[in-house]
Structure 1
Amino acid sequence: MTSQPVVPFSDPPYLCGLPSPIYKETHLKWQKACREFITKNLTENALEWDKEKTLPGSVWDEFVKVNMLIPNLPAPLPVERLKSLGINDILGLKVEDFDAIHGLIYADEMARNGLGGPSASLTTGIAFGVPPILKFGSKELQDRLLPDLLLGKKRACIAITEPDAGSDVANITTEGKKSKDGKYWIITGTKKWITNGIWAHISAMAVRTGGKGPGGISMIAVPLLGQEGVEMRRMTVGGLATSGTTFIELDEVKVPVENTIGQEGAGMKYIMTNFNHERLSIAIGATRQSRVALSTALEYVMKREAFGKPLIDQPVIRNRLARCGAMLESQWAWVEQFSYQMTKLDKATADTELGGLTALCKAQAGIVVNECAQCAILLFGGNGYTASGQGELIERLYRDVPGVRIPGGSEDVMLDLAVRQLVKNYQRKTKELGKGSSKL
């Protein structure tokens, strides 16, 4: 057991001296290395940088220097590709040994400052923009784009959402038409709420290259920074101030057809596969934000006095903390379970079996962080509603909550998708058994 007292809910049980069957020695060693590096290079100054709405460029450079952006990729890592670029380890962890539990630990530690923006400004582009190229791009496209992206010399983003098409991906209208000689896509349209877009050299973009519906969508690696016909402006949103949310306008942007990611018309499939990694990453980060909110509130009520005694002595306060604590630890157990399952399943099976559940986990993470952040705001009282002083972290964290519940698939859509996917899997397996549909 740990000999040091730990504020309740401030760390996952496995870091509080409680036994777990999930973590091996390599995971515990990785967690210590991650915490030391991320605390020094991100956590300690995250709140100040979030107030300034931009991280210094030196932060990106420090993460690149020790390959600490690579853990944003889904496990297993592209070992051969990384080693060809001289990337053999990350803080001493061999790239071939990196698994989904290492990824869980990394995402949890990156969110330990309690704010979504500082981490997102570093991670979102490589986490969600690079995997489609890595998984589905041609060798020529990968050889041309991946070295600079993986080495951190250039930045990427995922560009799907539009002013009139968010969770309803199948209705995007950004259009790509081939030039007369068939050598280029000519792309026109708008993308909105694109995280990291303002810094991105390349985007994995959803483009309508065919007819209506999902079958008409392709994914194309579209150049952004410095590209003729591309206009970008940074957007001001309610939270996630440092994440570089961007509005992109494309006016007959000329892109080589070789930049098509995978097969033309298969974009929707690639997008949905990519969403699984995106949604689980969001869920892990949001769970840590819940932890920060709740433990910060608990620490506050243990010292804050009202009516002649500490707030923690009030049963109503303890009840509020307990209800949120149960939600938080249940959510953490769920993301732990997901990560463990991903170490045991091949990619195709995980995509099929866990896709709907991942959507549900992401939706639940948003519900939990909302409850924990509201709890913290109420327990801090006026201090929690003030953008400075004792409660400023909680005030900013609460503004980040919609950034969990909306991006990556809005909450109501995720809840519905989860059940539909689970039913679909059940019906498929029933059919495979030759039993037909089940009727009650």
Structure 2
Amino acid sequence: MHGMCFTEEHQLFRESLKDFLKKEVVPHIEKWEETGQIESFIWRKFGEMGYFGLATPEEYGGLGLDLFYTIIFVEELQKINSGGFAAAMWAHAYLAMTHLNKNASHQQKQQYLEPSVLGEKIGCLGVTEPFGGSDVAGIRTTAEKKGGNYVINGSKTFITNGVYGDYIVLAAKTDPKAGNKGISLFIVDLGSKGVSANKLNKLGWRASDTGELAFDNVEVPAANIIGEEGMGFGFIMEAFALERLIMGVNAHARAEYALEYALQYMDERETFGKPISQYQALRHRLVDLYADMELCKSYNYGVTYKLDKGEYVVKEATISKLKSTKMADEVIYNCLQFLGGYGYIEDYPMARLVRDSRLGPIGGGTSEILKEILSKIIIDKKEYKAPKK
């Protein structure tokens, strides 16, 4: 399966990315984990290398590559032991920029997408609110048309890149009485008057800035609406498929990293005259975990193939996130156990991996929400269709 997905060009890209991360990112990870702020120079370096423009057409400064380059990008980011750094990068490129790539106007792409590709502007996505996350239709943030502007009032929370970012792709109700048909998307500069941000103190993902944002009579030019009024809900639902697939890929990649590290440790750690990798109870457990990881990995690649061909993969991407994030938590928990006492020491990677991985079944739709979505699809025969544009 893996050989069918990746060409020689894909593999060369992976090796180049690994080398870049090792030289340019890894030396700074501990500092960023401690300070909770990723320095601006690395964003520009990612931009210079073209990493933010993998899915962006060449017309707007990108590379226009297939989706498997994106998969390589998010996989390798999971293997430098900073879920927070990885989240900041992919939240910019595949939450905010996805909407710019797919739905923004030419003018909006010139103003926001092109500098995003270069790492000069950093974006985030604002859907989740303090009173609800996956219930997109229930958002309370409003955008009222006044002359040539919209006036936005409300709040968002759990926003990756929300504190140090430059703009937010914001969901707001332009017609509060119209339910999900009254939701629109706006590009809002985070430096605008009336925008305030509070940085949240998290269990994991320590390197990334996650914010709670307030919007108090924030004026946004009408030119900053994405598409037309009322189109936001469809755009958000469509983008959820890629977001959930990426979180599934993140999960199998960090599980793979944990298994590789644990096996290396087990080969080197000896008790009673032999490596602990030779004890049947441990080796059989590791094999079970490896098999679970491989199953998720192959499934995720299959979903990637479908999405890259233009299929609407709401069901498949939801399954990807649901099963892969559960698998990753189990794998990493057990890998920590393989390390014994050292698994509990911060100088080893498992403690951070456990914390970072725990967000997998929560962010981008909790596992409980995903099961209900799948219940509607599988049991109630509900059909989700791509939005008309």
Equivalent residue letter for 2:376: R
- CA deviations 1:14-41 (Å, max 9, x no partner) are 6xxxxx2222222222222222222222
- CA deviations 1:38-83 (Å, max 9, x no partner) are 2222245434532443333222222122222223x4xxx323222x
Q: Which residue of 1 aligns with 2:231?
A: 266
Residue 191 of structure 1 pairs with residue 156 of structure 2: yes
Q: Which residue of 2 aligns with 1:78?
A: 57
Equivalent residue letter for 1:375: N
Q: Could you tell me the percent identity over the aligned residues?
A: 27
- CA deviations 1:235-265 (Å, max 9, x no partner) are 1111101111011011111111221111211
1:252–1:427: structure 2 CA closer, same or farther, 3 Å change rule? closer
Q: Which deviates more from structure 2 when the two are superposed, residues 404-413 or residues 51-60? A: 51-60
Q: Which residue of 1 aligns with 2:49?
A: 66
SS of structure 1 residue aligned to 2:359: helix
Moved over 6 A (4+): 424-429
- CA deviations 1:132-173 (Å, max 9, x no partner) are 133222333333332322222211110111111111211111
After superposition, residues 391-410 of structure 1 pair within 5 angstroms as 391=348, 393-410=349-366
Q: Which residue of 2 aligns with 1:221?
A: 187
Partner Cα distance (1:117, 1:133) in 2: 23
- Contact kept, 8 Å, 1:115 with 1:289, in 2: the verdict is no
Q: Which residue of 2 aligns with 1:130?
A: 97
Partner Cα distance (2:298, 2:238) in 1: 24
Equivalent residue letter for 1:79: E
Partner Cα distance (2:341, 2:14) in 1: 36
Q: Which residue of 2 aligns with 1:434?
A: none
- Contact kept, 8 Å, 1:42 with 1:118, in 2: the verdict is no
Q: Which deviates more from structure 2 when the two are superposed, residues 260-269 or residues 332-341? A: 332-341
Partner Cα distance (1:171, 1:23) in 2: 41
Q: Which residue of 2 aligns with 1:176?
A: 143
- Contact kept, 8 Å, 2:376 with 2:382, in 1: the verdict is no
SS of structure 2 residue aligned to 1:221: strand
Q: Which residue of 2 aligns with 1:255?
A: 220
Equivalent residue letter for 2:182: G
Decide which of 77, 82, 86 is 1:119's aligned counterpart: 86
- Contact kept, 8 Å, 1:294 with 1:375, in 2: the verdict is no
Unaligned segments of structure 2, at least 5 residues: none
- Contact kept, 8 Å, 1:355 with 1:421, in 2: the verdict is no
- Contact kept, 8 Å, 2:142 with 2:176, in 1: the verdict is no
- Contact kept, 8 Å, 2:46 with 2:118, in 1: the verdict is no
Residue 303 of structure 1 pairs with residue 268 of structure 2: yes
SS of structure 2 residue aligned to 1:404: coil
1:325–1:420: structure 2 CA closer, same or farther, 3 Å change rule? same
Partner Cα distance (1:133, 1:402) in 2: 29
Partner Cα distance (2:382, 2:234) in 1: 20
Q: Which residue of 1 aligns with 2:132?
A: 165
Partner Cα distance (2:231, 2:378) in 1: 23
Q: Which deviates more from structure 2 when the two are superposed, residues 192-201 or residues 31-40? A: 31-40
Q: Which residue of 2 aligns with 1:359?
A: 318
Decide which of 303, 321, 329 is 1:370's aligned counterpart: 329
Partner Cα distance (1:424, 1:48) in 2: 49
Equivalent residue letter for 1:215: K
- Larger-gyration structure (1/2): 1
Q: How much does 1:427 deviate?
A: 7.0
Partner Cα distance (1:424, 1:137) in 2: 34
Partner Cα distance (1:54, 1:230) in 2: 20
* TM-score, normalised via structure 2 length: 0.92
Partner Cα distance (1:337, 1:384) in 2: 33
Partner Cα distance (1:425, 1:135) in 2: 28
